[in-house]
Every structure is written in structure tokens, then in C-alpha cells.
Amino acid sequence: MIFLSAAAGPRFVLLAAALFVAAAFVPAPAVAHGVVGQRFFPATIATDDPFAADEMALPTITSFNHETDFDFDYSKSIFPGFAIGIGIGHVDAKPPGESRTRGFSNLHISPAEELYRDSSHEFIFTTGLDWEIGGTGSNAVAERSSTFTPAIKFGKGFGDLPDSLKYLKPLAVTGTVGYAIPTAHDASKSIEWGGAIEYSLLYLQNNVRDEGLSNFVAHLTPVVEFSFSSPTRAGDGGTTGTINPGLIWSGQYVQLAAEAVLPVNKASGDGVGFIAQLHFYIDDIFPHSLGRPIFGGKK
């Protein structure tokens, strides 16, 4: 997100307005979600990936630590490289010794702006904001106060490694670091951080060595995601989080993913869980309508 400061002066506002208008009316080729140079990045499911794209995750099912969540997320590109996401979920929790609680979680609004792409180095850098709107979910499971989490995100493929390391070229990483700021005075702020390490069999097959993989297998990406939360106030506990090894299958229009959820310590949860997701590439399914940016993406 680009934040406009009132102190920036009218000249800056005029410049921003001019850029806005230019972006809206200059035709541009479709910006491919998840593609930077020769690299296709599948959408990660436990952490935010660095793409502002037209896509929908329905559902994301998480079962972990005596709780089962069904989540829905939809992201719509407004300009090429700028998208706004919305998300909501249903929580069903039954902690040991406590009564069962069910209900909808708070609505999330999450704009994201791709700030920098380097195709030759398969690198992308994005900023974003997640706004959990307090009070929009059920009293039983959702906070009454809002939380704002500005974040930076990046993705990097290793296709630029020397040929002597050719079998490492299919590797890629994504990462995100955010600062969660609750509006409730007594709530703790925290650093939300995580990422993914992925090995693209498609990249191996097409760019490094044709191993004769079937079309199905070639579209698999083994992945390990990690997601952590570190409170910044002393006395609010240590870092909690999970490590999620799994597999992503990326088709032409949809993606399927499944991961185990492993807590990193006792405070992070109890036992091994799982997360699974069906993900739709809206820009590929509806390339001439719903899947294009509203402004600046017309043919």
C-alpha cells in the first residue's frame, strides 16, 4: 500500500492522482499471479505469498489444536500489481475441559501492492496490510477490537544459480514479516513472520533436466511453510508457531494443497494437525472479465 501523508503537500497529491489516472487508462498485458521471469510460484496456504492477483481460496480447511476452521479468501486486482483481498472463516473449537464454541471469525480486508519485480533474478517485493475488522464476527470466537498488520513480502527463485548447482535451481523461497497492532489497549503487539521453501518439479523438468516426469507429477511442488508470532511486550510469552511440510499441485486453473501442521513448542499447540486448500486462479478461469484488473488491464 502507498500511504498518502497529509504533510506531503498538494504537489505530491497531484502526482499521486496523475499516476492513479495513468495506471487506470494505460493498457497493460495481464500480470501473471505467481509468475516472475521463468518462475511459477504456487500460492502458499499457511502464509501470505507476495502476489497481488485475481484468485480465490475456497475452502481452506485447518484442523489443529482442538479447532477446525473453514476459511474463504478472495483477492481482486484493481490495477496491475495492486489487489484487495477479503477473507472470512468459520471456527469450531473444543479445547479440553472447556465447552465447544462455534461461529464466524472477523472479516479481513487485505490490500497488497507489488512494488518491485526482477524477472532475471526471479525476485518480487510486495507490501501489504491486513485489517481484521473487530466486531464483524461472532461474539463467541471473534475479537471485538480490530487489528492492523502492515507487512512486507518477498519471493525469490534460485534459477540464477550457476549450472554447477543446477539441481538447486528449482528451489524458491517466499517470506513475509508483519507488525500486528491491535486497537485494544490491553492487547499485545506482535511480529508476525513466516515463509515457505519450495522445490518446483515443473522448473526441474522444463529448465534444468527433463526427467520424464508425467504431467501430473511435474506440476507438484514439495513445500515447507513456517508461520510464527512473536509478542513484542515482555511478559506476553515467547514465540509460537507451526512448521508445515506438504505438497502443492498446480493445474491450469486450480491448485490443490495439503500440509501437516507441526507446533514448534508446547505453547503453539497440541499434536499434529493438517491444512488443506482448494485454490482457484481466477485470472486464468476468467481472463477477459473477472480475472483482469478493473483498471489498466484491458486488452
Partner 1 sequence: MTTRFILTSIAITCCATPAFAHAFLRHAEPGAGAVLKAPPSRVALTFSEKLEPVFSGVVVTDSAGRNVEGGTVAVRGNSIAAPLRSLPPGSYRVVWHAVSVDTHRTEGAYSFTVKP
Residue written as cell 470466537? Answer: 141
Beta bridge partners of 271: none
CA diameter of the chain: 61
| Identity of the residue, 40 or 193, whose beta carbon is nearer to partner 1 in the bound complex | 40
| Identity of the residue, 30 or 109, whose beta carbon is nearer to partner 1 in the bound complex | 30
| Identity of the residue, 226 or 280, whose beta carbon is nearer to partner 1 in the bound complex | 280
Give least dist CB 124 to partner 1, A.
15
| Identity of the residue, 99 or 164, whose beta carbon is nearer to partner 1 in the bound complex | 164
| Identity of the residue, 153 or 169, whose beta carbon is nearer to partner 1 in the bound complex | 169
Beta bridge partners of 108: 87, 132
Give least dist CB 211 to partner 1, A.
8
Three-class secondary structure of residue 136 per DSSP = coil
| Identity of the residue, 56 or 262, whose beta carbon is nearer to partner 1 in the bound complex | 56
Give least dist CB 170 to partner 1, A.
11
Instruction: Please tell me the total number of residues recorded for the chain in this structure.
Output: 299
Give least dist CB 286 to partner 1, A.
7
Positions touching partner 1 (CB under 8 A) are 29-30, 32, 35, 37-38, 40, 58-59, 70, 119, 163, 166, 202, 205-210, 215, 252-254, 278, 280-281, 283-288, 299
User: CA 46 to CA 83: how far, in whole Å?
Assistant: 19
Upstream peptide bond of 59 is cis (omega within 30 degrees of 0):
yes
**Is the distance from CB of 30 to CB of 297 less than 8 angstroms?**
yes
| Identity of the residue, 133 or 254, whose beta carbon is nearer to partner 1 in the bound complex | 254
Give least dist CB 151 to partner 1, A.
27
Cα dist from 183 to 5, 103, 126, 143, 234, whole Å? 21, 22, 25, 11, 19
| Identity of the residue, 227 or 250, whose beta carbon is nearer to partner 1 in the bound complex | 250
Give least dist CB 209 to partner 1, A.
3
Give least dist CB 10 to partner 1, A.
37
Give least dist CB 280 to partner 1, A.
6
